[in-house]
Amino acid sequence: NRRFQSCVAMRPIEYIQAVRIEQAKRLLELGDVTIKSLAEQVGYDDISSFTRLFKRATELTPKEYQDKFSR
């Protein structure tokens, strides 16, 4: 855990969340995906938790992000 944190400057759970959020952003940019299926695809069972973490990371809800950046 300390070795990981010294290499990537964040705790393992924070790294996993960041990777999941980046994957979610890519999927949202592709367009037509529901937030429920998106949350499940990136490893979240609870949509509320996913939405809260996504908004904390991007300052937008998943739907707002999709509307702004989808192709």
**pTM of this prediction exceeds 0.85:** yes
Tokens matching residue 54: 């996504």
Contact assessment for residue 11 and residue 1, using Cβ atoms and an 8 Å cutoff? yes
Which residues, in sequence order, are CB contacts of 68 under 8 Å at separation 6+?
60
What domain count does the chain have?
Answer: 1
| Confidence class for position 1, pLDDT limits 50, 70, 90 | confident
Write the CATH number for 24: 1.10.10.60
Domain enclosing residue 64, as ranges: 19-69
Write out pLDDT tens, residues 13-63. 999 999 999 999 999 999 889 999 999 999 999 999 999 999 999 999 999
Tokens of 5: 């944190």
